[in-house]
Structure 1
Amino acid sequence: MTPFRGIALKLMSVFLFAIMASCIKAAASHVPAGQAVFFRSFFAMPVILLWLAQRGDLRTGLQVQNPMGHFWRGFVGTAAMALGFAGLGLLPLPEVTAIGYVAPLLTVVFAAMFLGEQVRLFRMSAVGLGMVGVMIVLYPRLTIFDGADPYSMATLGVMFVLGSAVFRALAQIHIRKLVQTDQTSAIVFYFSLTATLLSLLTLPLGWVIPTWQEAALLVTAGIVGGVAQIFLTTAYRFAPASVVAPFDYASIIFAIVIGYTVFGEVPTLVMLCGTSLIVLAGILIIWRERQLGLARGARQTLTPQG
């Protein structure tokens, strides 16, 4: 293994996912989330197919033994993507990124609930620490506590992103089941295919004709997202999952830089403090799972946004 190459690929994937999110956010004021999901998924498929052809996996890599498992993984992953994209239109990019970190915390809880995985005091304490950080990040947005309008756009955005995190965690549970029978390449491709088809169901909700700038942003999001997924998957071929997984949290740095330079979004001290606790909790969970010998590859290699 060559850990530095794996880390470099992981950082590149995290950076590209941040670029993808910024493209979606730039078009979100006019383009509905369901339509954005279509562009993101449809234009990622050619990139993934070319990657599989280059690897010689185009024939065997797409064979499946659990088709319904792929459908349910695709369903919850598409829901996660749509809610996340909706949240991007209502909240600053760094805030969406920080709230999204609740997904790996929930994955620990769901693994205990649905997979029978033993979760002892250390990891549950780390989850609790992360949830405290989430509440710190959310508190300024939960206007219901100060008598303001609980149906404000910011509060709605928080609900969307939290819902996205729940579905992302559920997607990881489905992925951990799928990797026992099917190849990673099949899981990546059929998620994009399922998301493309499911997104078409939102046509009656009011798709729009995007401007050429918006169309360019959405197509770019799909292509960049596909490349990011390839980098992410390849990273785990060069380094252990426990080595590259902590670099997921570099996304907050990229989100802050892009949010400030592109969208003029300045993160607050409260958000940064809460995010620090969430990141600490996530790293503690990764460290503990490495000590326990738990496989993190399936959990970290595939994500709904990817």
Structure 2
Amino acid sequence: MQAAPGHRPLLALLIRLGAIAALATMSALIKLASERGIHLAEIIFWRQFTTIPILLCWVLATTGLATLGTRRPRTHAIRALYGLVGMMLNFGAVILLPLAEATTINFSVPIFAVILSVLLLKEPVGIWRWSAVALGFTGILLITQPGSGHVQLLGAAVALGGAFMVALISIQISDLSRTEKPITIVFWFAAISTPIAALALPFYAAPHGWQDWALLGAIGVAGSVGQLLLTAALRFGTVASVIVMDYSALFWATLYGWLLFDRLPPASTWLGAPLIVAAGITIAWREHRLTRPTARDLARVEGT
């Protein structure tokens, strides 16, 4: 069986690594901006607003504005509302928790995806994925240690809520991807969410010096570059083949936590993180095995 046109797995892995580095950088900048007194509402607005001109320049230089056309504005609007909630929770987790802990808890997205696939899509889930769910939650308990005061419980709850929203949004994006290009989905998310986020500015906007504006601009650029690279990676490889690179975010979170905030993860994080990562990889592996065509499927395709 020949590889799909444009299938370049090594290039896809490298691009995905770059995407994760850009998004990890965005998270570190968000934490810096918060420590400088910039409100979360402002951070979200400028993160989304900056995406619009960057994506417009991208499509003008590549596929043209027609790429952004859509016949599903209502679905995009719902995705934007869910996305704003997810962004508030995920950015809030970065602000409330050390970077490494917030990043590691976010790795629980595949775990919530399995649970939602049962509740919303009525998909059958076997022993492998249920075992991975149990393994992942064991890792979360090791990291958070409820009742010990080791990790702020509000921050842990916010981080888990953010991971849940990402899993929920992934189902929406999967539906949208049947008819829309990835860059179209990203653009409409920014275009719809920006004016909604702007409603909070009269209450939380404040004067800033050039350093603050530079931080806000860098957050928007890093986030947009990360999204574009995520999209580009899927041009050359499948989700199942590149998703393992997402766990490199823990390296960047640890590095930024040490360099910028003088904070290294405690032993409990290093004990829990491998369990959550192993759970995510197991779920991705099972998804790949379950969706991979069998020899009978291939014979049927070749015979048509």
**Please, what TM-score do these two structures have when normalized by structure 1?**
0.88
Give secondary structure in 2 for the equivalent of 1:196. Answer: helix
Judging changes above 3 Å, is the alpha-carbon distance between structure 1 residues 195 and 294 closer, same or farther for their aligned structure 2 residues?
farther
CA RMSD of aligned residues (A): 1.9
- 8 Å CA contact 1:51–1:230 kept in 2: the answer is no
Equivalent residue for 1:51? 58
Give secondary structure in 1 for the equivalent of 2:96. Answer: coil
Equivalent residue for 2:272? 274
Give secondary structure in 1 for the equivalent of 2:65. Answer: coil
Equivalent residue for 1:12? 18
Equivalent residue for 1:75? 81
Equivalent residue for 1:99? 105
Judging changes above 3 Å, is the alpha-carbon distance between structure 1 residues 120 and 65 closer, same or farther for their aligned structure 2 residues?
farther
Amino acid at match of 1:199: A
| Structure 2 counterparts to residues 158-173 of structure 1, below 5 A | 158-173=156-171
Give CA-to-partner distance per residue, 1:171-225, whole Å, 9 cap, x none.
Answer: 1111111112222221110111222122123235423223321211111110111
Deviation, 1:252, is: 0.5
Equivalent residue for 1:253? 251
Equivalent residue for 1:299? none
Give secondary structure in 1 for the equivalent of 2:200. Answer: helix
- Which blocks of at least 5 consecutive residues in structure 1 are unaligned? 296-306
- 8 Å CA contact 1:24–1:85 kept in 2: the answer is yes
User: Matched residues in 1 for 2:12 and 2:281: separation?
Assistant: 18
Amino acid at match of 1:193: A
- 8 Å CA contact 1:126–1:281 kept in 2: the answer is yes
Deviation, 1:230, is: 0.9
| Structure 2 counterparts to residues 152-163 of structure 1, below 5 A | 154-163=152-161
- Which blocks of at least 5 consecutive residues in structure 2 are unaligned? 1-6, 294-304
Deviation, 1:24, is: 0.8
Amino acid at match of 1:13: A
Instruction: Give the 4+ runs in structure 1 shifted more than 3 A.
Output: none
Amino acid at match of 2:193: A
Amino acid at match of 1:55: T
User: Matched residues in 2 for 1:174 and 1:66: separation?
Assistant: 12
**Please, what TM-score do these two structures have when normalized by structure 2?**
0.89
Equivalent residue for 2:201? 203
Judging changes above 3 Å, is the alpha-carbon distance between structure 1 residues 219 and 180 closer, same or farther for their aligned structure 2 residues?
same
Equivalent residue for 1:37? 44
Q: How many residues align?
A: 286
Amino acid at match of 2:249: S
